[in-house]
Amino acid sequence: MSTTLPAILMLVVGLFTLALVLLRRVQSGRSPVVLTYGDDAEGFAGKLFRMIVGALVIHLLAVAAFPEAVSASLGRIPVLDKPLLHAAGLVLMALGGFLTMLSQWTMRHSWKIGIPEKQDAPLVTSGLYAFSRNPIYVGMVSALIGSVLSVPNVVSVALALSAWISISYQIRMEETHLSRSFGEAYTAYCGRVRRWV
């Protein structure tokens, strides 16, 4: 199984997200990236998530460039180090990445990276969002689980767990923002559609 495939899959999702950021900026004249850099909870969560994603990218690139050295030095997990699990992990990474990209695309101008100070776009409740309130995050968590299976070492597990905790915290902050912005419409939506799936 190629050790470069996890890094390639991560690169594809990253490049798609960057292209979508640029497209939305051209279309609206504003960037959809609204991350804050303050010392508040939102700023901390944003910094933490960026650090985790950066570490994951570096980790997958290191695995691609130096597979034997990384496997020997980063706590390989023998029970997960099986060809069938590697293949399942790659499939999960691909499906999770596709779901992430599709979910970002279908939000149209409501898609943001971060929490906007002022809600200037409608609440999206149709399409994928009729089945999950957070399909982007469902895709991201699926891809993270896939990364653990395709690159089974202690660092992969630590990064996946850290990202899941960060994502869970981010979801709750977004829910507070959406509840303030949309009131009863958001409460009704939460009553119909689960947070994850």
Which structure tokens are listed for 71? 């496997």
pTM of the model: 0.93
Task: State yes or no: pLDDT of 1 exceeds 70.
Answer: no
Q: For the chain, list the domains and their CATH numbers.
A: 5-192 (1.20.120.1630)
Gap between the Cα atoms of 150 and 166, Å rounded:
22
Residue located via tokens 């901390």: 44
Tokens linked to 197: 């799936």
DSSP category for residue 124: P
- Confidence (pLDDT) at 172: 95
CA-based R_g, the chain, Å: 18
- pLDDT, tens digit, 9 for 90 and up, residues 73-126: 888 899 999 999 999 999 999 999 999 999 999 999 999 999 998 888 999 999
Q: How far is CA 194 from CA 41, 129, 174, in A?
A: 24, 10, 15
Share of the chain above pLDDT 90, in %: 74
User: Helix and strand tally (H, E) in the chain?
Assistant: 7, 0
